[in-house]
Amino acid sequence: MPVLHQMQMSGNCYKVRLAGRQLGLSFKLKDYPEHDGLTRKPEYLAKNPNGRVPMWETDDGKYLPESGAILFYLSEGTTLQPTERWARAEMMQWMFFEQYSHEPYVAVARFWLAYAPKEELEKKRHLVPEWHAKGNAALGVMETHLKSRDWFAGSQYSIADIALYGYTHCAGDGGFTLSDYPALSRWLARVAQTPGFIPLSQSW
Amino acid sequence: MPVLHQMQMSGNCYKVRLAGRQLGLSFKLKDYPEHDGLTRKPEYLAKNPNGRVPMWETDDGKYLPESGAILFYLSEGTTLQPTERWARAEMMQWMFFEQYSHEPYVAVARFWLAYAPKEELEKKRHLVPEWHAKGNAALGVMETHLKSRDWFAGSQYSIADIALYGYTHCAGDGGFTLSDYPALSRWLARVAQTPGFIPLSQSW
């Protein structure tokens, strides 16, 4: 059976659990404690030299890191990917947007403000205004899109929505005010109504 | 005719020019001067609310930002994308790796050390050691892969190689020492030998 190497509270790992549940897949979880540094140890680095979770392990012992790549791999040929060429381009647009312009601020603020040891946070405190400025800019870009669209890629729910949902729905943990974004807030509610939806806290 | 909205010295824009040339596509360039801030003006933000280049404009007036999404869109169904499912997963893995773990350090160091106004660099000087540490970590991950593989996705040259080539080949501008990475250096030479290859400095 495939294995998802993961941390439960990581939004990047949650994206894979959510897609996996909605696709009806069978797989096991292997959990890594948040602060143990196991993903930087030689045994893990032999599987993923970049030392991060999530990592997908196939039945035949191959390893795939990067949440976006895992989402893409698991959903090829399913209803979680549009088939029309432009909609597929939009799907990729928003998945790259999320990893480059959203996650490094929205997810990072959440990690440091909600999960990191307090004494570590103090060393990062001076970065909080930049995280909030750039994170709010990213949420603003999403809001603009969602004023006229229900979903991010084409006219259907896809892995682009899952990729953006992962850290947007819990942005409040990082000090963001989601009620400032009404169209985005309605989209969050739509995602939570999709068949097979599971919340971040729910284990496999 | 399609239009690539771009900056000539941006590695992200170069990726699209390189793929476009190798795919034999016809399109025009619209250049944005580096320090004019035009991509943050309302006229541009109406097309791409995220305010960045590259942006692809189609014949029928649609806009696609994100270099990875443009590469994916332009190369669907071509030899620049593998068809085998696992190789496609690897393609996405390395494209997301590039945008998350490589570009924010390797490209950013190059920008500030080689292109930014000197007085602006001084405000960022304290970040150089972190850019170099994380950028070298990313180059090390590439080196590990390339010790046993010729290309990043499957066994063929693909948009994953183009995505990684964009800022790796000019990492020296950012203070990185590419000769420390012999397998990576051989891969750079292989990419430069692919049919239709153009260097970053070459205009369209």
- Using DSSP's 3-state secondary structure scheme, residue A101 falls into helix
Q: Report residue A2: phi and psi, to 5°.
A: -60, 155
Q: Per the CB < 8 Å rule, is B93 touching A67?
A: no
pLDDT at residue B37 tops 90: no
Q: Is the ipTM of this complex over 0.95?
A: yes
Query: Mind listing the pLDDT tens digit for each residue in A78-96?
Result: 999 999 999 999 999 999 9
What pLDDT is stored for residue A122 in this prediction?
Answer: 93
**Residue A89 is encoded by which pair of tokens?**
């381009």
B96 touches chain A (CB under 8 A): yes
| Separation of alpha carbons A185 and B130, rounded Å | 36
Of B66, B95, B97, the CB nearest to A93: B66
In the CATH hierarchy, which top-level class contains the domain B85-192? Answer: mainly alpha
Peptide bond into B82 cis (omega under 30): no
Fold of A3-75: Glutaredoxin (3.40.30)
Cβ <8 Å between B92 and A69 = yes
Preceding omega of B54 cis (within 30 degrees of 0): yes
Looking at residue A88, its pLDDT comes to 98
Q: First vs last Cα of chain B: how many Å apart?
A: 14
Domain ranges for chain A: 3-75, 85-192
- Say if the Cβ atoms of B103 and A100 lie within 8 Å: yes
Of residues B115 and A204, more confidence is placed in B115
What is the model's pLDDT at position B136? 98
What is the predicted pLDDT for the residue at A149? 98
User: At B31, is the pLDDT very low, low, confident or very high (cuts 50, 70, 90)?
Assistant: very high
- Is the N-terminal amide bond of A33 cis, ω within 30° of 0? no
- pLDDT exceeds 80 at position B35: no
